[in-house]
Amino acid sequence: MGSSDGKRANTKILLTSLAAMVAETTTFPIDLTKTRLQLHGESSAGRTNAFRVASEIVREQGPVGLYKGLSPAILRHLFYTPIRIVGYEHLRNVVCTDAGSLSLSSKALIGGFSGFIAQIVASPADLVKVRMQADGRMVSQGLQPRYSGPFDALNKIVRMEGFGGLWKGVFPNVQRAFLVNMGELACYDHAKRFVIQNKIAQDNIYAHTLASIMSGLSATALSCPADVVKTRMMNQAADKEGKIKYSSSYDCLMKTVRFEGLRAPWKGFFPTWARLGPWQFVFWVSYEKFRQIAGLSSF
């Protein structure tokens, strides 16, 4: 029994990683655009939009520029996604044998906790991804990039900022992860069951698509301000005098609102949703299909 459960858990981890790699590769250019857009207000007073940012990247670096930082992004998901998805399902089944009877608030707490733990583990890879995405902007300005690759970035961060530097921005990071997974996992789970129970669709690609769209919108609305703060906190590095721009995530949020307005925490909302929506669609449809092929029950 124990051996069978362990084998099933290993299969789920493998399938989750595979589905996450497919989703990440498909939607990464949108994530890169979102990151550049969120950092835009720090260094430029001019207005811009997602299409203009993406066009500039392609014009200056070619189409391959849209995949700057893909390797640490995939590395991150090999840790982050299995822990949060498999962890959520395990905790859900521990709390209640009949997942359909669990309340939305209970699912939200389980989803948030799963995301919290997963993000602590994956934070160094997330930091490298953000730094490498920001490096692409430096190249476009004629500056020398800070890092030649993900392992060079890891080495330099540890050497210059200490081992703890790998977890820079971890607090806004886990705040965001808690909110994203609270919205994504709970909403997907609840919406899918609602669609199936009300006979809107069977447990198939239509139900998975509807549920992923709803979870993408709720996750974006909850997480966008924390995402902006996380991106800025992780990208900052001390100046020549050893000073940093933001002393805490709260300080970052306050300065962002003070200097850029109340709408600034939702800067990049559309590309964030435009990324979360397709990412969740590709991930959940792939993951559910992989589970079906492997002979596992639906999520």
pLDDT tens column, 149-158: 778 888 888 8
**pTM above threshold 0.85:** no
* Contacting residues for 88 by C-beta, under 8 A, at least 6 apart: 110, 111, 114, 181, 185, 189
Q: What is the pLDDT of residue 18?
A: 94
Q: What is the pLDDT of residue 294?
A: 92
Q: What is the pLDDT of residue 132?
A: 78
At 67 the three-state DSSP class reads helix
Alpha-carbon 103 to chain mean position: 25
Cα–Cα distance for residue pair 46/253, rounded to 1 Å: 20
Cα–Cα distance for residue pair 211/195, rounded to 1 Å: 8
Taking only the tens place, the pLDDT of each residue in 224-255 is 887 788 778 777 766 666 677 888 878 888 88
Taking only the tens place, the pLDDT of each residue in 71-116 is 877 888 888 999 999 999 999 988 887 766 788 899 999 999 999 9
For the chain, the 3-state helix, strand and coil shares in percent, each to the nearest 5, are 80, 0, 20
Instruction: Report whether 28 contacts 76 (CB < 8 A).
Output: no
Instruction: Report whether 76 contacts 120 (CB < 8 A).
Output: no
